[in-house]
Amino acid sequence: MNIKKILLSVLLAAPLLLTGCSSSSTLKMEKPKNVILVIGDGMGVPQVYTSVVAQRDRNSAFLLFPFSGFSRTYSRNKYRTDSAAGGTALTTGHKVDNKHVNWGPDSERYNTIFDDAVAQGKSTGFVVTSSVLDATPASTYGHVPYRKMFDTLSLQMAQCQHSVMIGGGGKYFETSNRKDGLDPLDTLSKRGYTVVNTLDEMRKFRGDRLVALLYEGDPLTAPSRGNMLEVATRKALDILNRNSKGFALMIEGSQIDWACHNNDTAYLRAEMADFERVLDAVLEFAERDGHTLVVVTADHETGGVTLPSGDIEKGENEVKFLWGSHTGCMVPVFSYGPGAHVFSGIQENVDIPNKIRIVMGL
């Protein structure tokens, strides 16, 4: 990363902060063409700082973001959100009940920022280290009252407008594993998508409509899955960036959450190291492009993580977990690129997609 360019972006944004703080309508800023929303599932401040300390031999990617803030994560009906309600808040701007995906209390189906991007002719997609039907990726395309309605979600995914969809969960698309006997893979094929099942096939793909179901179930844990998330992110950026009107991409480090549910420190460190590599790739693209807004946050914190002791010089810290579930803590927000300054401060999770809409003119 070019640190001088990042610092320059802070200086250029300073007048906007001073002149625009009284009203968002008075802000004068470049409108970003692209947006990359990066979600660390279950990633609170302690998880981030664990990674910052561990990256002692180089700059942690988290330290390269010129703006930061916090997000309040409670759902419509619970102090502690789940990933379905958390993902919905981050993609639609609506708080919903836990376990609901883009589904309101009166069966409303909420539009996402990805729907809005498509309406403007932009390309969209997602890359995750979970099943493509898991709650967070589903919040970019699905509408269900219960997050585990996998047959329904797979059909909705097969009919959605994303150009790129990458993750695991291939077994849910096979007719032999479905109660309805339907074939969403056939639907995808008829709509012009190429479906691949390996990283090598994904690397070789040269088209513009890709579904990569890289694992039958959930992807392997880091580091067993290698650089799958980084490679998939770079492939998604390559495909989506061909659209001259721009794109909206969601990337999720899904298994940060799983590591914290398991209270597994080694697992957490490996997932955060993987997340750092993806942030490097995203910031590299955004710096080179110059018209891309990057927003990094979490749907909630998991594990009640705290760091009672450590050694900065050795890149070590002691990790303690309160329990194996989510907490109601605020989570961090990091931003870079045109319009990044509006994501500073304490905000509701639903403010994030609405701010994206404002700065991008969606």
Q: How are beta strands 292-297 and 331-336 bridged, if at all?
A: antiparallel
pLDDT for 133 equals: 98
* Amino acid found at 324: G
* Averaged pLDDT, groups of 10, the chain, 362 residues long: 44 40 48 98 98 88 97 98 98 98 97 98 98 98 98 98 98 94 96 97 97 97 96 98 98 98 98 98 98 98 98 94 98 98 98 98 92
CB atoms within 10 A of CB 287: 18
| Burial track 297-322 (b if 16+ CB lie within 10 A, e otherwise) | bbbbbbbbbeeeebeeeeeebebebe
195 in a structural domain? yes
Q: DSSP 3-state assignment of 253?
A: strand
3 in a structural domain? no
pLDDT for 113 equals: 98
Segments forming the whole domain that contains residue 93: 32-274+311-324
47 in a structural domain? yes
Q: For this structure, is 83 an active site residue?
A: yes
25 in a structural domain? no
**Which ranges of the chain would DSSP assign to H, the alpha helix?**
3-20, 45-54, 83-92, 113-119, 135-138, 150-158, 184-190, 199-204, 228-240, 255-261, 265-289, 351-360
CA dist list (Å): 38 to 29, 45, 89, 196: 22, 15, 14, 23
pLDDT for 58 equals: 79
Q: Domain count of the chain?
A: 1
pLDDT for 56 equals: 85
Q: Name the strands in the sheet holding 331-336, side by side, starting at the edge strand that comes first in the sequence.
A: 194-196, 210-213, 164-168, 123-131, 247-253, 34-40, 292-297, 331-336, 67-72, 345-348
How is the chain split among helix, strand and coil, in percent rounded to 5? 40, 20, 40
The domain that holds 133 is classified in CATH as 3.40.720.10
345 in a structural domain? no
pLDDT for 33 equals: 98
Task: Dig out the tokens for 100 from the structure.
Answer: 């609901």
290 in a structural domain? no
pLDDT for 28 equals: 55
Handedness of CA 248, 254, 257, 261 (dihedral sign): positive
20 in a structural domain? no
Choice among 9, 51, 71, 83 that is catalytic: 83
174 in a structural domain? yes
